[in-house]
Amino acid sequence: MSFSDYLETKVLDHVFAGTAYTAPSTLYVALFTAAPSDSGGGTEVSGGGYARQTIAFTTSGDTTSNNAAVEFPTATANYGTVTHVGIYDASSAGNLMAWAALTSSKTIETGDVFRIPSGDLDITLN
């Protein structure tokens, strides 16, 4: 995953400039049909029962991974082809923290459920 410009600035300010940063108490995973970038943007899924889902991580060494499966609500309309995910600090709007392309895209149609198995969403710093 790539850190957003927002998170990169917060980390640099915190570590090197002594500016306090309080991590969000809850993180949310979002689905995209067009790639975001470090500065944001992209096309997040909307409508059809879609809502960002909470996600929690466990860190080991230089990698943090989701510590439980994440399941989105059953789609009540077609989402399109999901190609990317993003991590936000709010259930709507908010700040993009990190994002990545999926290893394989997934077309979500009415009645489908998008799932991220436990341990399948990794963020690595090296």
Report DSSP letters for 69-103, one per residue.
-EEPPPPSS--EEEEEEEEESSSSSS-EEEEEEEE
Report the length, in residues, of the chain: 126
Give the confidence band of 89 by pLDDT, cuts at 50, 70, 90: very high
Supply 42's token pair. Answer: 């992209």
Q: Which amino acid is at 40?
A: G
List the beta bridge partners of residue 28: 54, 88
In tens, the pLDDT along 33-77 reads: 999 999 999 999 999 999 999 999 999 999 999 999 999 999 999
The pLDDT of residue 126: 81
CA atoms of 48 and 40, how far apart (whole Å)? 23
In tens, the pLDDT along 4-30 reads: 999 999 999 999 999 999 999 999 999
Residue 65 and residue 122 in contact, taking contact as beta carbons nearer than 8 Å: yes
